[in-house]
Structure 1
Amino acid sequence: MSRRPRAAALLLLPVLAAGCGGADTAAAGDPLLPQDAASAAEVGLVDVPGLGGVLADGEGFVLYMFPPDVRARVTCTGPCAGSWPPLAVADGVIPAGGDGIDAELLGTLPDPNTGGQIVTYGGYPLYRYAGDVDPSTAHGQALLLNGAPWYVLDASGQPLTTDPRATP
């Protein structure tokens, strides 16, 4: 191998090592992805055509779960969290539940993106989708991104694994 290709390969190593997601690769308070941990969070239900009542944040934006999180593990970090921002709160904040929400299913996990906490429901970390620009829309439902599909949750904490073509 000549010197130029070897030097180019060495320059690419940090880029390749950075990857996309994975809790082990992101530092707390990722400087490239500034996100604030809120001082309050509410989880409620919104009605989405074709899906029914699904979890949403206090502003009515639909919340999703990511199967690789395997209940109680945050794997969506760094660039992944840019598309799927977590419902993050500051340390010590207890999330509130609106009508139809089982408060016993609410909890938090350490957030490697903000250094705060990610709100969970039934053990699943909760995320918004950047493509949902309006409340009560679920454009991320069953969307295959970052290595797995993303799903909305119903009031019992179960993922709704629908075909994305059936979701408006």
Structure 2
Amino acid sequence: MAGCSSDKPKADPLVVATPPATVLIATTTIPGLGSVLSSGGRPLYVFSPDHHAVVTCTGACSGTWPPLRTAGQARAGAGVKAGDLGTVTSEGFDVVTFQGWPLYRYAGDTDSTQARGQALFLNGGPWYTIRADGEIVTTGSDRS
């Protein structure tokens, strides 16, 4: 029958109802950007308006830019210093931080070789990837 379906909508893998107990922060290599922080093989981003460990991308913004949430703590992978990791509470969840910057993922990234959110100006500011040494990558993009 037209219009009827028993298929359930698929959950967005970036938005989790129950955050994991630990989150591994590692690095991945993105063509044109080099080695940047990642989690689950996907690049992580910082949002320029976030200052002093304050998450400013909330509500509808977090649908496109889900903050990296954890129910426990972040764990440092190879090349990442554990002392650079922390958490801050936002909207009732712990969000992973790196050197005080809240970390986000971009819903438009579909595999580990792209950073489609790089240098986008959305939701009131630019979004950038960040390296394990703390350098914010402000150039380049993967929007081909």
TM range (shorter): 0.7 to 0.9
Q: Find the residue that maps to 1:81 and give its secondary structure.
A: helix
**Structure 1 residue ranges (4+ consecutive) displaced by more than 4 angstroms after TM superposition:** none
Partner residue of 1:85? 66
In structure 2, the partner of 1:3 is none
Secondary structure of the residue aligned to 2:137 is coil
Secondary structure of the corresponding residue to residue 139 of structure 1:
coil
Structure 1: distance between partners of 2:16 and 2:74? 21
Q: State the Cα deviation string for residues 12-55 of structure 1 (Å, max 9, x = none).
A: xxxxxxxxxxxxxxxxxxxxx87432222010000111111000
Match of 1:54 in 2: 36
Q: As a proportion of its length, which structure holds more helix?
A: 1
The DSSP-based 3-state class of the residue aligned with 1:70 is coil
- Aligned residue among 122, 125, 131 for 2:108: 131
Which of 21, 41, 46 is matched with 2:23 structurally?
Answer: 41
SS of equivalent to 2:73: coil
Structure 2 equivalent of residue 117 of structure 1: 94
Residue in 1 that maps onto 2:5: none
Q: Which residue identity lines up with residue 80 of structure 1 in the other structure?
A: C
Identity %: 45
**Contact persistence 1:71–1:125 (CA under 8 A):** no
Secondary structure at the aligned position of 1:44 is classed as: strand
Gapped regions of structure 2 (runs ≥ 5)? 1-14
Point out the more displaced range, 121-130 or 133-142.
133-142
SS in 2 for 1:138: coil
Q: Which runs of 5+ in 1 are unaligned?
A: 1-32
CA RMSD of aligned residues (A): 1.7
1:70 aligns with 2:51: yes
Whether the 8 Å CA contact 2:55–2:90 is kept in 1: the answer is yes
CA 1:100 to 1:147, structure 2 compared with 1: closer, same or farther past 3 Å? same
TM-score (norm 1): 0.72
Q: Does the 8 Å contact 2:21/2:73 carry over to 1? A: no
Alignment length, in residue pairs? 130
Give the whole-Å Cα distance in 2 for the aligned partners of 1:71 and 1:157. 15
Helix, strand or coil at the partner of 1:69: coil
Q: Which residue identity does 1:102 align to in structure 2?
A: K
Q: How many Å apart are 1:157 and its aligned residue?
A: 1.7
- C-alpha contact 1:107 1:120 (8 A) present in aligned 2: yes
Matched residue of 1:68: which SS? coil
